[in-house]
Amino acid sequence: MNSSPVQNHALTPDPHRLDPLEKLALAVLALGLAAFVTGLFYVNEQTPGGARFLWLCGAWGAVVGGGMLYGIRKYAKQLPGVRNHGVTSESLTARGAVGWLLAILFTAFYICLYWYPSLLEGWIRLHDPLAQALQGKPADQWFVYGTFYTAAVAVMGAKALAKHRHSRYQIVRISCIIFVQSIFAWILPALLAKLSQPEAALTYFWPLEYDKLMPDNVHELLSWRTHFATFCVFWFVAGTFVLAPVLTYFFGKRWYCSWVCGCGGLANTAGDQWRQLSDKSLRAWRLERWTVHSVLLVIVLLTGFVWLAPRLPEAFQASIDGARKWYGFLIGLVFSGVIGVGLYPLLGTRVWCRFGCPMAAYLGLLQKYFSRFRITANGSQCISCGNCSTYCEMGIDVKWYAQRSQNIVRASCVGCGLCAEVCPRGVLNLENGPTAGRVPDAFSLAGPLKARPPRA
Amino acid sequence: MANLRHIVVVGNGIAGVTAARHIRKLGNDRITIISGESDHPFSRPALMYIFMRDLNFADTKLYEDGFWAKNRIELRRDWVEQIDTAAKRLRLRGGESLSYDALIVATGSVPAREGWPGEELEGVQSLCSLQDVELLERNAASARRAVIVGGGLIGIELAEMLVTRGIAVTMLIRERFYWSSVLPDGEAEIVTEQARAHGIDLQLDTQLSAILPGSDGRVRAVTTAQGTEIPCEIVGICTGVRPRIDLATISGIECNRGILVDRHFRTSASDVYAGGDCAEHRDPPTGRKAVEQVWYTAKIHGETIGAHLMGQAEPYCPGIWFNSAKFFDLEYQTYGDVPRSAPEGVHSFFWRDTVGRRCLRVNFHAGSGAVLGVNVFGLRHRHAVWEEWITSTTHVREVMAHLAAANFDPEFFCRAEPEIVAAFNRAHPSMTVELKSRRGLFSSYIRSLFQGRRDGADQPFENSSAS
């Protein structure tokens, strides 16, 4: 009897163990982060331009290079496919110490950015050379923020591309996010400043960026008296009232929320690892419908009043002004920034999009009542596993519909496509099609099996 | 509210829960579901995701916890020791007893074992219940190597689970290919390749002979029938399941392999029904097996039992067969009848991707050309379209011409239909077809299928809009 151990026993590498390339990438990333931390404290007006330039190149080179290499390698070393293993136990992704630490850091960054930008002076001066080159003037905190934001979308976008590379929908979508953020939200506004044109971010619309259609902004744009500025006014009005309804009718709100919008862009790149933390409870859904529609109502009324203000009594004007300031503070800064992004690692990535964004509320109403978009449930193939609901960043309990073979038509769905991707049985698909039968009237708990005899 | 019955369900698997849901949808009877396995019903096929840490247990629950009280379905955590079918009472392990007006036995299945020496050792286990996953968690903590016995769906799931923990897996498969009792060779070969690509040491034509203990009483190795010794710390027994009938047997309910039921799922005891994995049909529907231990089947059983109890007495009629699975990253769907080898008078057209592991097999009648069934790997297909094609005996030429209408892949995915149709034309030059129809819901063909208007139909359209 041959009792020698089998030699061809395949020892599979543990995907959670770092390989040498990943270790190298992390080391480079750490050096880059160290360069940023020292830069925050040691760079100032007196630092020579050349030194700042080298410092900046080194820091960004290491962070972007190391970060991308690590993120890509982590998934490229595994075969393409759904790779969510370990998500419920890792400190980073399961609200462990790492998650809490990051949430505190992110929140602290937003607080500094909005209310104590002088604390970020080192970074602002560090970015002067880049700002000069791009926009022809020194950096301010918003230039630094835009640069960080774009880098986060690009670096973590590369990781997301590697992770989701088995899905062509995700490859196209994530590439689009990275492209829109880098070109339209970052480089183009800077170049416009250099060309002495208004620094218009063409991918944000009212009511998300409520200033866009406020009278002061419109009047200012018109006062530029350039073709581009006039085009901007046309573009922002058309974007909200023509582009949004038409595209949402044909494709659902995803055309904006998970292809174009920067908030969604950050959520689906930097935040991709925290999507499972969104609250799926009915309670959260109830709260969401109240808050998101309230914000929409407030901004619609506010915009209306601001336009009417000149015809209203003086006393009114002051309170409208006050309301606008409060809206900017509570919604524009605290909700969308501090809570929306700062708490990514604790509450998931779409807290702002889901509970606060008035644009999402507006597109959501269009999506629910005037759209050809739906997530189709494929016959009776659902096994109720819960992957779809768990990985829905908007907290939609997708399984609730799928397991009764019902199409999913929900105002909040941003069409990221992850439910269809993680479904192990091919049950879900994002589809645009005729509105007839989009929400079936009748359904069966065991599926719409037509072959069974009709009920009496 | 007079005359409300107390309907008790034994087992909170998908059959029992589906029955309870239907009873509640149709009426106000008191409903109790008893389970010894878990407080709340969960998705058994999702157990693997809990172990791989893709999901928390709570994510696999069928509904939020508040759902049950809201729908007045009582959940009770206990084991049923015996059914007194004459007095209509249950004796529970906790000591209490519970009376019922109607009883649904949905006790599921238990792993089937073959009596190998060493089966009882620590480290030897199956994968069926929540407790099995907890046990595997403990067994995997210190394990580096595992041997899995059996080439079925559970075996490959267990292999995938262990691989995510960096545990090296050997699978012993008695047959020439993986799952070749069900899959035709082309598909079985693809899954075999897939498992090997994921680092599984797949040993075909190999049988387990014995499980060997170490000095600590735990499993140390296995030996195969060929006499090879394979060291391991875990042995996964995945050689299928059998109906769990111990409760029915000791309660005097007539059983064979499973609890014997008629087309209305009535057992030999009055007002006692059985459905799901534990049931065996006395008179199975044409083309179906007497015992079908599949999630989807259990769901239809539950629905039929629920409807029956609520007075909608239609006999079990499960529609076309369908099933699905995922082998590592390779998805599989099947609709209709695709046996492992095509019987006399049936043509089997098989296409396989030249680069990846996508494939499609369509079986059809050699004489009439009517499609009988389809297997797809790495492609997603629409259930409703295939159900329509198969039930209305659509000609394979029409199916091929409109294959895109069945495509359910996400947007931007590589379309395989042109290649499939080209391959079909090469294989069947006498039936050359041209690919028509756009993909997805824009395909007017899909709409016409369900509205009774089809252009270019080779067969007269059998109106199925009765439902």
* Partner A contacted by B95 (CB < 8 A): no
* Partner A contacted by B66 (CB < 8 A): yes
Whole-number Å distance between alpha carbons of A445 and A450: 13
**ipTM attached to this prediction:** 0.93
Residues 152-211 of B with CB under 8 A from A: 163-170, 197-201
Whole-number Å distance between alpha carbons of A86 and A276: 12
Structure token pair of residue A303:
């915009």
* pLDDT (tens digit per residue) in B400-419: 999 999 999 999 999 999 99
Chain A residues with CB under 8 Å of B391 CB are: 450-451
Q: What is the pLDDT of residue B452?
A: 56
Contact between B136 and B161 (Cβ < 8 Å): yes
Chain B residues with CB under 8 Å of A84 CB are: 52, 54
* Partner A contacted by B299 (CB < 8 A): yes
Whole-number Å distance between alpha carbons of A117 and A130: 19
Contact between B92 and B80 (Cβ < 8 Å): yes
How far is CA B346 from each of CA B367, B372, B386, B396, B460, rounded to the nearest angstrom? 8, 9, 18, 12, 22
Residue B12 in this model has a pLDDT that exceeds 50: yes
Instruction: Check B466 against A454: CB less than 8 A apart.
Output: yes
Please tell me which of the candidates A3, A169, A387 has its beta carbon nearest to residue B410: A169
Instruction: Check B326 against A376: CB less than 8 A apart.
Output: no
Stretches where chain A sits below pLDDT 70 are 1-15, 440-456
Instruction: Check A384 against B46: CB less than 8 A apart.
Output: yes
Chain A residues with CB under 8 Å of B61 CB are: 386
Q: Which of B312, B441, B162 is nearest to A15 (CA)?
A: B162
A329: left (phi over 0), alpha (psi -120 to 50) or beta: alpha
Closest residue of chain A to B24, computed from CA coordinates:
A445
User: For the range B445-448, what are the long-range contacts, defined as Cβ-Cβ under 8 Å and sequence gap of 24 or more?
Assistant: B445/B402, B445/B405, B446/B382, B446/B385, B446/B405, B447/A434
Instruction: Check B55 against A88: CB less than 8 A apart.
Output: yes
Closest residue of chain A to B442, computed from CA coordinates:
A433
**Nearest-CA distance from B250 to chain A in Å?**
31
Q: Around Cβ B116, how many Cβ atoms within 10 Å?
A: 18
Structure token pair of residue B243:
């109906």
* pLDDT (tens digit per residue) in A231-284: 999 999 999 999 999 999 999 999 999 999 999 999 999 999 999 999 999 999
**Residue A139 is inside which H or E element, if any?**
none
- What does the DSSP 8-state code read for residue A338? I
**Nearest-CA distance from B353 to chain A in Å?**
16
Closest residue of chain A to B223, computed from CA coordinates:
A3
Whole-number Å distance between alpha carbons of B467 and B465: 5
Q: What is the pLDDT of residue A453?
A: 38
Chain A residues with CB under 8 Å of B25 CB are: 445
Residue B255 in this model has a pLDDT that exceeds 60: yes
Query: Over pLDDT 90: what percentage of chain A?
Result: 87
Chain A residues with CB under 8 Å of B195 CB are: none
Quick one: pLDDT band at residue B464, thresholds 50, 70, 90? very low
Whole-number Å distance between alpha carbons of A50 and A44: 13
Q: What is the pLDDT of residue A120?
A: 97
Contact between B426 and B418 (Cβ < 8 Å): no
Q: What is the mean pLDDT of chain B?
A: 93
Chain B residues with CB under 8 Å of A280 CB are: 64
Q: What is the pLDDT of residue B354?
A: 86
Query: Over pLDDT 90: what percentage of chain B?
Result: 88
* pLDDT (tens digit per residue) in B310-352: 998 789 989 899 999 999 999 999 999 999 999 999 999 999 9
Q: Which of B117, B339, B172, B151 is nearest to B240 (CA)?
A: B151
Chain A residues with CB under 8 Å of B169 CB are: 10, 12
**B1: β partners:** none
Closest residue of chain B to A276, computed from CA coordinates:
B55
**B349: β partners:** B362
**Residue A420 is inside which H or E element, if any?**
helix A418-422
**Nearest-CA distance from A150 to chain B in Å?**
26
Average pLDDT of the segment spanning B430-455: 74
* Partner A contacted by B2 (CB < 8 A): no
The model's pTM is 0.94
Closest residue of chain A to B59, computed from CA coordinates:
A386
Whole-number Å distance between alpha carbons of B143 and B166: 9
A207: preceding bond cis by omega (within 30 degrees): yes
Query: Over pLDDT 70: what percentage of chain B?
Result: 95
Closest residue of chain B to A4, computed from CA coordinates:
B229
